[in-house]
Structure 1
Amino acid sequence: MHVLQNVFQQFCSSTALPHQCARYIELLNNCRKRLATVFNAKPEEFVFLANATDAFSRVTLGIDWREGDEVVAPENDYPGVLRPLLDLRRRGVKLVLVPARDDAVFAEQLLAACTPRTRLIAASHVNFRTGFCLDVSTLCAGAKKKGVLTAIDFVQSAGCLQLDFGALGADFGTFAARKWFCALDTLGIFYVREESLNKLTPHTLGLFSVAEPHNFDALDQPLAPGARRFMLGAPPYIQIAAFDAALELYQRVGAAEVEAAGRALGRTIREGAKTGCLGESWPAGAQAPIVCLRREGKLADESLGPRLLQRGIVASVRKGIIRVSPHWFNAESDVDRLFDALAAFEPRK
C-alpha cells in the first residue's frame, strides 16, 4: 500500500508533465526488466495491457488467418481463452475442441488433434476448474515440429510455479497481475517470444505502437521493437507500480520457496479432503497448488461461498467445485480453519 501512496503523491505533486512521463516510462522499463529476470526472458518480450484476455486477443487478432484454418484447444478451458477463439468463426477459422479424459486434456491429445490446416494451439498451463497442469514444454516442442504456433495462458500458474519462458518454448503467453502475484486488477501481461514476433501483426496502431512514440512530427513510423508494438495508449502506471512491488516481494521470498510452500499446503488439503470424505480433488495430474474439491451433499448449497467468506476464508465456489489456492504466506492453521468450517457447515433452511 505504501508503494501506491508514493505513486499517488508523485502524480499529484508534479506539475511538469514531461518530467512525470519520463519517471513513469522508467518505472515501466524497470518492471519489464524484473519480469525478464523472474521468467528467464528478455525485457522487450513483455508488454503491459488491460488484462489477460486483452493480451490473449492480440494473438487471435494478429495471425494472418485464412479461411479453413484451424485452432486446437481443450474443451474445458477458461472462457477468456475459448471465446476469442470461437470468435474466429467469422473469419472462416474452425475451432477444434479436444474432449477431456479423466477431467484433463493432455499435451499428446492436443498434438494429435492437429491437421495440416492447424495454425495455433491455445491452452491454459493450469486449468481453472481442476488444477490440472499441462505439460507445456512437450506441447510447444511438438507444435514447433508441426509448424504450429502456441499461445499459453499462465493466469493460474504465474506467481505460484517457477516458470522459465525460455525453456517452455511457447510462442505467446498471457497472465494477470492480480492473481498469484496479488497485485492490482486491470493489468495483463503479454509475452511474445522474440523469434515469434513477426508472426503476429498488431490489429491496430496507437501512440506507443511505433519506434519513437514521442516524436509527434513523424507520423508514419516503423513498428516499435519487441512486444511494445502491441501497446496502444499510455499503460496503467499505478497498476504497474503495484505489480513491480509484488514482483520484488516474489523475488525476495524466492520462486522455489513460493512453489514449495504452495505445493505442500496443496497436498495437505488433498489429504484432508480424502480423510474428511469431502470428495477427492481431481485429476491425477493436478500438480499446481490449486486444489479443487467436489461440492457434494450439503456443500452443494448456494450459501457456502458467502458463509466461508464470513469466517475469513476466501475460496472460489463454483458449480460443482470449491477451488482453494494456498500461497506461500498461508499456514497449516489456515487449512485447519477451512476444514473446520466445511465440517460445521449446515445449509440454511
Structure 2
Amino acid sequence: MTAEDWLARVRAGFPYLEGRAYLNSGGAGLAWRGQAAAAATYYDDVASRGADGQRTWMRQGDRTRQRVAELLGVPAGDVGFFRNTSEVLNLAANSVDWRPGDEVVVADDDFPSVVWPWVAAEAAGGRLVRVEPGAEGQREDRLLAALTPRTRVLAVSHVHTVTGTRLDLTRLGRACREVGALLVVDGIQALGAVPVDLSHVDVYGSAVFKWLLSGFGTGIGVFRDRARELLTPAYRGYRNAPPSSAFEYADPNYPGLYVLDATLAHLEQVGWPRVYRRVDALAQRVLDAVTAMGRAPATPATARAGIVSFRTDDAPAVVGQLLERGVHVVEKKGYVRVSPHFYNSTDDVDRFAEELRAVLQGR
C-alpha cells in the first residue's frame, strides 16, 4: 500500500474531514466511524442482560486499563478512570495533608484546572507560588528556580494549551525529588500526540476527547507509587474503602471505556510511532509556514508537541475568516492555535497556509 493509499484509508474513517482542513485536535479530536459501534455494544448488552452484564463491563474496563497502562509504560494498578482531567487534579490537591508554610508552584498563565485546585493549600496556611513564565524558552527554568524545600507540589501542563510549549517531565520530576515535592501533570494536550514518559511523574491526569479522540466524560488518572505513599485519597467509595491507597472510588464511565478501548485498538493498528511521527511532521510544517510569513511562533521549535501558536492582529477575526474558508483553527488569548493530528494531510496544512496568507493580505 502506498503512503497516499494509506492516508486515504485513514481519512475515510473520519468523515468530518471531507471538504475541510480540520486543524483543531487540540480543541477536540475527531470521532472515527468505529466508535458508534463500540458504544452500541455496551448499550445492547444492557438492553439484553440488564445488570447481569456487569461482569462483562468490568472485564472491558480491565482490558481498557491494560491498554492505557501499556501506552504509558506503567503498571495497570497505577491507572484509574475518572470523569475528566480536572477531577484528577482536584483529587490530588485534596489528598495532601497540608501544613502551614507548604508551597505549591504553578505557572501564572497555566490552564485554570492546573492552578485553582491548589487553593486548598492556602486554606491550610500554605502558599500558591505563581511563577511568571517569561519567554517560552524560559518557562521550564523559571518553574525549577521556584522550587524550595517548602515545595510540596509542582503542578504543570505537559503541553501548554495556549503556547504549545512542551515541558521535560524527567527534568522536572528529578528536581521535585531533590526537594521532596510531588510532580502533578495535566497531560491532556500531550497524551496521544507525543510519547509520554512517566518515570519521574507522580500524578498524571488526562481526559480523552482531544488527541485520544474518544469523547467527553472519561478521564485517565495515573497515581504512581510515590503519590500513593504520600497522599491519602480524599474521596472514598466501594472501590477504595480504607485502608486502600487507590484513588478510583466509583464505577467508571463504562460506555466511554468501550469507546476508548476501541479507539486505542484502532490507533495501535495505525501504529503509535507512525501517529507520533505524523503529528511531529505536520506541526513542523505549520511552524515552517508561519515562520515563512514573518510570524514568530510562540511555540518553541525544540520544545513542542502537536500545537503551534502565533500572534497576529485581531486573531479572532483571522480565525473567523479562516473558518469561512473551510480551515478550522482556534483563537486562544490573542494567539492563533493550530493543532494537526495524524489524520491530517500535508495538503491540509498547505491549504491553511494559503488561506492564512490571503486573509493577512486582505484578499
| TM-score above 0.5, yes or no | yes
Match in the other structure for 1:204: 235
Percent pairwise identity: 29
Segments of 4+ moved more than 4 angstroms: none
Task: Report the Cα offset of residue 306 of structure 1.
Answer: 4.3
Task: Give the alignment partner of residue 93 of structure 1, picking from 126, 146, 151.
Answer: 126
| Structure 1 residue 30, shift from structure 2 partner | 0.7
Q: 197, 202, 227: which is aligned to 1:171?
A: 202
Equivalents in 1 of 2:137, 2:122: separation in Å?
A: 25
Q: 1:172 to 1:265 in 2, by over 3 A?
A: same
AA at the equivalent of 1:246: T
**How many angstroms apart in 2 are the aligned matches of 1:265 and 1:30?**
32
Pairwise CA RMSD: 2.1
1:67 counterpart = 2:100: yes
Tell me if the contact between 1:106 and 1:135 (Cα under 8 Å) persists in the aligned partners.
no
For each residue in 1:20-40, what CA deviation from the matched residue of structure 2 results, as whole angstroms up to 9, or x when unmatched?
111111111111111111111
Shift in alpha-carbon separation, 1:307–1:21, aligned structure 2, 3 A:
farther
Secondary structure in 2 aligned to 1:163?
coil
- Aligned mate of 1:246, from 263, 268, 271: 263
State the 1:312 CA deviation.
Answer: 3.8
Change (3 A) 1:9 1:266: same
Q: Which of 166, 173, 182 matches 2:213? A: 182
**Which of 170, 184, 202 in structure 2 is aligned with 1:137?**
170
Q: What secondary structure does 1:126 align onto?
A: coil
Matched, 1:191 2:205: no
| Counterpart position of 2:303 | 286
The corresponding residue for 2:287 is 270
Equivalent residue letter for 1:160: A
- SS of the residue 1:96 aligns to: strand
For each residue in 1:124-143, what CA deviation from the matched residue of structure 2 results, as whole angstroms up to 9, or x when unmatched? 11111111111110110121
Unaligned runs of 5+ in 1: 211-220
Higher relative contact order (CA 8 A, sep 6+): 2
Shift of 1:345: 3.1
Counterpart-to-counterpart distance in 2, 1:275 and 1:148: 42
Instruction: Give, in whole Å, the separation in 2 of the partners of 1:4 and 1:270.
Output: 37
Q: Is the 8 A contact 1:132 1:285 kept in 2?
A: no
Paired residue for 1:327, among 326, 341, 350? 341
Aligned-residue offset at 1:277: 3.1
1:64–1:301 distance in 2 versus 1, CA, 3 Å? closer
- Measure the CA separation in 1 of the matches of 2:49 and 2:323: 41
Q: Is the 8 Å Cα contact of residues 121 and 127 (structure 2) preserved in structure 1? A: yes
Deviations 1:315-345 (A, max 9, x none): 2212211111111111111012212332333
Counterpart for residue 32 of structure 1? 65
Do the aligned partners of residues 70 and 24 (structure 1) sit closer, same or farther apart at CA in structure 2, a change above 3 Å counting? same
For residue 286 of structure 1, what is the amino acid of its counterpart?
Answer: A
Q: Does 1:302 align with 2:316?
A: yes
Aligned length: 327
- Opposite residue 353 of structure 2, the aligned amino acid is F
Gaps in structure 2 of 5+ consecutive residues: 1-35
